Amino acid sequence: MPAVLLSQTYASNHKLAVIILTSMIGYLVEPVTAGAATKLKPAPTKWTVSEPFKKSDEARTNLSGAACVPTKPKFTSCLIANDQKKYAQFFAIEGNVLVPGDLTLLSDKKKDPDAEGVAYADGFFYVTGSNGRSRTGNKKNKASYAVCRFAADPATGIPKVKPNEKEVIGIKSSSRLRDALQDDDKINASFSKKLSKGGINIEGIAVKEGRMHFGLRGPSKGSYAFVLSVEADALFTEDRSLKRKVTSLNLGKNTGIRDLAAVNDGILILAGPTREERVDYAVWLWDGVGTKAKRLATLDLSAVAKGAKAEILFPLEEDNTNIRVLVMFDGVDDGGARSFLIPR
């Protein structure tokens, strides 16, 4: 066979082998979704505060949950909580400026609610405690096994009872969630464990269509995180069934839920490490009913201060194509807000 023909035959066979090998790899390796493959950078908008959140450095660097009443104009009545003090604080959003307002006391001086999540729905603000033990000391904290709520005007967002930073006024608290956590086979084994050993720790809350959803930072089992859902009104009524349900969501290994937020077509989930694992923060969409969630974006937090933890997620606006959200951080003065435009 002539040398030229031999060379062409070899090249053809080599090309065919490459095509076959590539096809085989395609069958063996699961494709990576767009949301997981690339990290979404924050919008260039610079967010500021008109003045520092109150009442101490400890509080303003440990912000843990926020939500707004859907007023017109928007964002005139919002509430933010921290996991170090016994109060939450109202604020408004004016353009790209957070404007802190009145304080409201959530529990008396002898109790530490360990507030981790805030939601608003149907005329009520809700604040949930962690419902967990201390991170390392495994100390009991009965006050954390509570969810409180207070009424606010759906049109104006103004609380029905004037906020009071010295007395607990107009706030109703429920400890019924404690039994719900202990009674479910998926998570009850973690009830009495400390967080560092995979114990129960609630970090997110969202209310939609009468159901209250609690996102658990821990436990995380295999690649599954958990959402506990109950009837919102029943939680504050002793003789009504909670209609408890625990949903397992495949969010990834060592991944827990850091916050929840209701949107038009479901519940947004801010997911991240359960403790200090090297896990990217990501935003998922869950319909609030089924057992699967859709990963919308992995967040690029490379410009955020080292050691900061994404703790707060709430929607600014949404349409059929995108959801614009605000993300705030534990470990940064006044939350270090960043906004993201997340494709659906």
φ and ψ at residue 188, rounded to 5 degrees = -65, -25
Whether the per-residue pLDDT at 66 is higher than 50: the answer is yes
What pLDDT is stored for residue 48 in this prediction?
A: 98
CB 191 within 8 A of CB 185: no
Strand (E) or helix (H) holding 22: helix 3-28
One-letter amino acid of 192: S
Q: In 3-state terms, what secondary structure has residue 193?
A: coil
Helices and strands, counts by H and E, the chain = 4, 21
Comparing 57-61, 85-89, 190-194, the range with the smallest average pLDDT is 190-194
Q: How far is CA 106 from CA 27, 164, 168, 243, 310, in A?
A: 55, 9, 6, 26, 23
Strand (E) or helix (H) holding 341: strand 338-343
What pLDDT is stored for residue 102 in this prediction?
A: 97
> Cα(211)–Cα(143) distance, rounded to whole angstroms?
23
- Mean pLDDT of all residues belonging to the chain: 87
Residue ranges of E strands in 46-123:
48-49, 63-68, 78-82, 87-94, 97-105, 115-121
> Cα(267)–Cα(206) distance, rounded to whole angstroms?
7
Whether the per-residue pLDDT at 23 is higher than 50: the answer is no
Q: List b or e across 58-77, with b for residues whose CB sees 16 or more CB atoms inside 10 angstroms.
A: ebbbbbbbbbbbebeeebbb
Q: How far is CA 115 from CA 85, 180, 191, in A?
A: 8, 19, 18
What pLDDT is stored for residue 305 in this prediction?
A: 93
What pLDDT is stored for residue 143 in this prediction?
A: 61
Domains of the chain: 38-343 (2.115.10)
CA quadruple 233, 180, 309, 88: dihedral positive or negative?
positive
> Cα(125)–Cα(115) distance, rounded to whole angstroms?
13
pLDDT for 219-277, tens place per residue? Answer: 999 999 999 999 999 999 989 999 999 999 999 999 999 999 999 999 999 999 998 89
